[in-house]
Structure 1
Amino acid sequence: MKVSSRSADLLGRLGLMLIVYLVFALHLPSYYSPAGVAALLDSAVLSGLVALGVALTMIAGEMDLSVGSLAALAGILAVKLFPIGVFPSIIVVVLVCAAIGALQGWLIHRIGINSMIFTVGTLIAFRGIALLVSGEKTQLVPLEDIAATDILIGKFGIFSVLSLALFAAAALIFAFTRWTLWGREIFAIGGGRSESRAAGVPIRRPIMIAFALSAALAGLAGALLSLKAGSASPLSYDSLLLEAVAACLIGGISLKGGKGSIVGVLIGLFCIRFLVTGIAALGAPFWAQSLATGLLLIIVIVAEAIFAAAAGRFRLAMRRPAPIIKVPA
Structure 2
Amino acid sequence: MIRQDRMREFAARFALMLVVYAGFATREPSYYHVAGIASLLDGAFLTGVIALGVGLTMVAGEMDLSVGSMAALAGVLSIKLETFGVLPALVASTALAALVGAAQGWFIARLRINSLIFTVGTLIAFRGFALLLAGEQTVNIPIADLDATDFLSAHWLFLSPLGGLLIVVALLIFGLTTFTSWGREIYAIGGGRTEARAAGVSVRRPLVLAFAMSAGLAGLAGAVMSLQSDSATPLGYDAVLLDAVTVCLIGGVALRGGRGSVVGIMIGLFTLRFLVSGIASLGAPFWAQSLASGVLLISLILAEGGYAFLRRRRSFAGVGGLRGGMS
Query: Do both share a fold (TM > 0.5)?
Result: yes
Verify: 1:58 aligned to 2:69, yes or no: no
Give 3-state SS (helix, strand or coil) of 1:81's partner.
Answer: helix
Higher mean alpha-carbon deviation, 300-309 vs 196-205, is at 300-309
Residue-by-residue CA offset, 1:98-137 (whole Å, 9 max, x unaligned):
0000000111112221100100110011000000000011
**In the alignment, residue 298 of structure 1 is paired with which amino acid?**
I
**CA positional deviation for 1:324:** 4.2
Measured on the aligned residues, the alpha-carbon RMSD in Å equals: 1.5
**In the alignment, residue 163 of structure 2 is paired with which amino acid?**
S
Verify: 1:98 aligned to 2:101, yes or no: no
**CA positional deviation for 1:314:** 2.9
Higher mean alpha-carbon deviation, 154-163 vs 125-134, is at 154-163
Verify: 1:242 aligned to 2:242, yes or no: yes
Query: Residue in 1 aligned with 2:201?
Result: 201
CA shift in 2, pair 1:260/1:162, >3 Å: same
Q: List alignment gaps of at least 5 residues for structure 1.
A: none
Distance 1:318 1:199 in 2: 32
- Going by fraction, where is helix more abundant, 1 or 2? 2
Query: Residue in 2 aligned with 1:175?
Result: 175
Distance 2:105 2:312 in 1: 35
Distance 1:318 1:179 in 2: 38
Number of aligned residue pairs: 325
Query: Residue in 1 aligned with 2:142?
Result: 142
Residue-by-residue CA offset, 1:224-251 (whole Å, 9 max, x unaligned):
0000000000010010100000000000
Query: Residue in 2 aligned with 1:35?
Result: 35
**In the alignment, residue 20 of structure 1 is paired with which amino acid?**
V
**In the alignment, residue 321 of structure 1 is paired with which amino acid?**
L
Query: Residue in 1 aligned with 2:322?
Result: 321
Query: Residue in 2 aligned with 1:256?
Result: 256
**CA positional deviation for 1:149:** 0.4
Higher mean alpha-carbon deviation, 305-314 vs 136-145, is at 305-314
**CA positional deviation for 1:84:** 1.4
Describe how 1:41-120 pairs up with structure 2 within 5 A.
Answer: 41-120=41-120
Distance 1:323 1:135 in 2: 74
Query: Residue in 2 aligned with 1:125?
Result: 125
Q: Could you tell me the TM-score, scaled by structure 2's length? A: 0.96
Give 3-state SS (helix, strand or coil) of 1:158's partner.
Answer: coil
Query: Residue in 2 aligned with 1:165?
Result: 165
Higher mean alpha-carbon deviation, 83-92 vs 257-266, is at 83-92
Q: Could you tell me the TM-score, scaled by structure 1's length? A: 0.96
Distance 2:177 2:109 in 1: 21
Higher mean alpha-carbon deviation, 153-162 vs 185-194, is at 153-162
**In the alignment, residue 141 of structure 1 is paired with which amino acid?**
I
**In the alignment, residue 228 of structure 2 is paired with which amino acid?**
K
> Identity over the aligned pairs, expressed in percent?
56
Describe how 1:258-277 pairs up with structure 2 within 5 A.
Answer: 258-277=258-277
Distance 1:130 1:12 in 2: 41
**In the alignment, residue 41 of structure 2 is paired with which amino acid?**
L
Give 3-state SS (helix, strand or coil) of 1:64's partner.
Answer: coil
**CA positional deviation for 1:317:** 3.9
